[in-house]
Amino acid sequence: MTEIVRARAAEVGRALGAGHLALSDVVAEALARGIAPLDTDPVLVEMLEASVHANVTNIVHILTNDIPLAHLQPPTAAVEYALRLAQRDIPSNALVRAYHMGQNLVQQRCYRLIADQHLGAAETVELTEYVSTVLYRYIDWITAAVFEVYEDERRRWIGTQGTVLSSTVHNLLAAPEAGAATFERETGYRLDRVHRAIILWLTERASLELADLDRVARRVFAGIGSAAPALIAPVDASTLWAWVPLADRARGVDAVAALRTASLPEGVRMAFGDAAPGTAGFCRSHEQSRAAFTVAHLPDSPTGQVTGFGDRGIALAAMLERDIEHTRPWVREVLGDLAEDSPSAASLRETLAVFLATGDSHVRTAERLSLHRNSVKYRIDKALATVGPDHDRLDVGLALTACEFLGPMVLIAR
C-alpha cells in the first residue's frame, strides 16, 4: 500500500476524530435500541457508551497514525463491558452483533469522509479498500479479545455461589406462569405470599464487594417485617436483586419507612417496588424496583440513597425516560424556553412546579421556597408567559416533572 493511500487514510482518521464524540453517541444509541438485551438498564447503557467511545477512539488513532494492531491493548471500557454482559447472563451473540453493527456505522461514516476528498474513481476505490480492511481487522481483533474475556468470566461466574439462583430468577421473570413450580422447587421461596422487590448496588464510591453487599441486604431486610428469609440473587459484580416475603403488618407505610431509614454504608444505594401478592406481584414489584433503579441512575436525578417506586414523580419519570425519543420534543413543545439548560430556567421551573403543587398559592410557594411573595409572583408570571396560555396545566406539570428527574441535558441537549 502506497504512502499516498496511508496519508489519505490519515485524513479520514483526523476527520473522523473531529466528530468522534457525536459518532460514538450515535453508534451507542443505535446498538442499545437495535439489540434488545443491551438496553436492560442504565448501567449497561452507560458501560456500552464508554466501550463504543473507547473503540471509536482506537479506530481514529489507527487510521491517523498507522498503528499496528500488535501494539494495541483492548480498551479497559470494552473489557469491563464484556465482563458485565457475562455476569448478567446476556448472550454472547449480542456482544458480537454489537461490534458488527458498530463496524457498519463507523464504516458508513468513513465512506462519506472518503467521498469528501473528491478523488478519482481509482483512488477512491483504493482508499475505500484500505480503510475497509483496517476496520475489518480491528473489529476482528477486538471481537476475539472481548469474546475470550466474556467466555472466561461466564465460566467463572457460573461457578460462583448464587449464580444458579440468578439464572432461575431470570427464567421465572421471563415466563412467570410456566416457571413458577420449577422456581419454588429450586429456590425454596414460596410465591403465594406478598413480596417487595428490592435492588441494592455499589457505586464507584463504595469500598465494599458483592459479599459485603449481601450482608448489608440481609441486615436491612431483617428490619422490615419479613415473614421468611429473603431471596437474594447477584446479577453482576456490583448489583443484587432481592425479594422480601412480607408479613401482613409489613405491607404498608411502616415497611417503607424502615427501608427509607435503613443505615446503608457509603457507596451503597437501594431501590424498591411496592408490595404485591403472588407470582404476578413478585414480577410486578421487581419491574417497579427496576424503574426506580433507572430513575436513580439518571444524571440529574434528585433521588437520594434510597428510591421507592411510589415516591413522587418516580413512576412518571420512568415511563417518560422509556420513550425518551418522544419525550424530548414533547417537553420542548410544552415548556418552550423554560426547558432550557440554564440556572434562570431551572429557577423558574422549580418555582412554577411548587406553585402548581400548592394549588396555585403564592403564599405557600413563598413559604416552601423561602422567598418573598413578590419574588414568587414575578417568577410565576415570567414562567407562565414563557409557557404560554395554550397548554393545559396538567401537561405543564408533567413536563416539569420530566425536567426535574430526567434533566434538561438528557431531554434537550442530546
- Give per-residue pLDDT as tens, 36-95: 888 878 889 999 999 999 999 999 999 999 999 999 999 999 999 999 999 888 899 999
Please report the pLDDT score of residue 161 as a whole number: 52
- 200 vs 213: CA distance, rounded Å: 8
Please report the pLDDT score of residue 414 as a whole number: 44
- Give per-residue pLDDT as tens, 343-402: 899 899 999 999 988 888 999 999 998 989 889 899 999 998 888 877 788 899 999 998
Question: 323 is written with which cell numbers?
Answer: 420513550
Phi, psi at 72, each rounded to 5°? -100, 155
The rounded percent of the chain whose pLDDT value lies above 70 is: 95
89 backbone φψ class: left, alpha, beta (φ>0; ψ -120 to 50): left
Please report the pLDDT score of residue 160 as a whole number: 64
The helix (H) or strand (E) run that includes residue 166 is helix 163-174
Residue-level length of the chain: 414
Nearest to 63 by CA among 131, 109, 136: 131
Give bridge partners of residue 202 from the DSSP assignment. 268
Please report the pLDDT score of residue 93 as a whole number: 93
- Give per-residue pLDDT as tens, 211-262: 899 999 999 988 787 778 899 999 888 999 999 998 765 555 577 888 888 8
**289 close to 272: Cβ distance less than 8 angstroms:** yes
